[in-house]
Amino acid sequence: MILHQDDVIVVVNKPAGMPVHRSRLVSDGDAYLIDVVRAQLPGRLHLIHRLDRATSGVLLIGRSPEVAATLGQQFMQRSVQKTYLAVCRGWPAERGTLDYPLPGVRENSERKAAITHWRRLQTTEVSVAVNRYPQQRYALVEITPETGRYRQIRRHFAHLRHPLIGDTSHGRTEHNRLFKQYFGSHRLLLHAHSLSFNHPLTGERLCIEAPLDAEFTRVLHAFGWLLPHATSRASSALPHPQL
C-alpha cells in the first residue's frame, strides 16, 4: 500500500472500496485508510486530499501540520497534477475538456467551477446485447482534473453521457451488470494513477504512480488494452464472451 515515504511525507495506494477516513457521510467502513496507515507508521499523519470511497489510487499524507499546510497550498494553487485512469461507456472524443460547474454534496448547494480534461487511450466493442443495442462500446480514458470538486470525474462523465463503469450513483446499471457477469469487475473503474507535486522540503518535482489492482488489470487484459506509457491507441474488438 505504501508507495513512498520519507521524514515529511507518505504516499499510499488506496484500495477501491476503502474509505479514507470516518466522516458524517461515511461511518460504516470495515477499515479506514488513515487508521491502517497509522497502525504501520509512527507519528502524526495528516491527509492532504481525499479520494472517493469507490476510487483507488495515489493519496498524499503529510507527517506534520507545517508540511500539510505547504502541500495544501500547492493543491490550492493548482500546481499539483492528478492523472486518473477510467473505463467509460461509449467512445468519447479523442481529447476534450469539460468546463461545467458542479454543486457540492447537496445538489441544491452553490455550483462552483469544475474543469476536467481527458484523453481517450483505447476503445473496444463487446458483442453482448444491452437493451436494443447488439454491441456495446467502451473506452479507456486518461483524465486530468483541473479542479477537485465532489465526485467531479464521475459527475462530469455522466454529464457527457459517457458514465464510468461501476459507478452505482451516476452510471448505468445494465452496463455495470455486464462487467460483473462477463469480466468479474465489481468495482468502480476509476483509479488515481499518478500524482505530481513539489517536495515540501527540497522543492524537487515528484511524480508517483500507483499500480492498478488485480480487478482493474483483469479488465484491461480482457480487452487487450495497454497501460498509457505503452498504449498503441488502436481499437480492439471482442468476440461474444463465452457463457
Helix, strand, coil shares of the chain, percent, nearest 5, are: 20, 30, 45
Contact between residue 194 and residue 209 where contact means Cβ atoms under 8 Å apart? yes
Burial 53-83 (b: 16+ CB within 10 A, else e): bbbbbbbbbbbbeebbebbbeeeeeeebebb
Supply the DSSP symbol for 217. Answer: H
Distances (CA, A) of 140 to 6, 10, 83, 106, 190: 33, 29, 13, 30, 10
Known active-site residue 99: no
- Residue 193 vs residues 82, 132, 212: alpha-carbon distances, Å: 8, 35, 8
User: How many helices (H) and strands (E) in the chain?
Assistant: 5, 11
Q: Which of 35, 52, 167, 213 is catalytic?
A: 52
Residue 46's CB: how many other CB atoms inside 10 A? 19
Rounded CA gap, 44 and 37, in Å? 11
Active site positions, annotated:
52
